[in-house]
Amino acid sequence: MMLKFSFIAGIVFIVISAIFSGAWVDGQQQRANFYSETKGHRDFRMKIASYSGYIGIVFLIIAACLYFFS
């Protein structure tokens, strides 16, 4: 149960990180987003992406530890 929760939470946080960082847009869309948003908004978006990515990695490490050591 805990393994499944940790794995799903890790994947969800990694997906949130990818969405906020703009990892799934093409070059033209990324360029348009860069020039249409303010520096403060971009910094806020990248902070959310970084924190959610870190949390996702921690959850995936917990899931791996639960899998290998139980």
Per-residue pLDDT of the chain (70 residues; tens, 9 = 90+): 999 999 999 999 999 999 999 999 898 998 998 899 999 999 999 999 999 999 999 999 999 999 999 8
**From CA 65, how far away is CA 68, in angstroms rounded?**
5
Q: Let me know: does 1 contact 61? Beta carbons within 8 Å.
A: no
Q: How far is CA 33 from CA 27, 62, 63, in A?
A: 10, 35, 35
Closest C-alpha to 60, from 68, 24, 48 = 68
Tell me the C-alpha distance between 53 and 55, whole Å.
5
Position 9 scores a pLDDT of: 98
Query: What does the domain layout of the chain look like in residue ranges?
Result: 2-68
The structure tokens listed for 47 are 């902070």
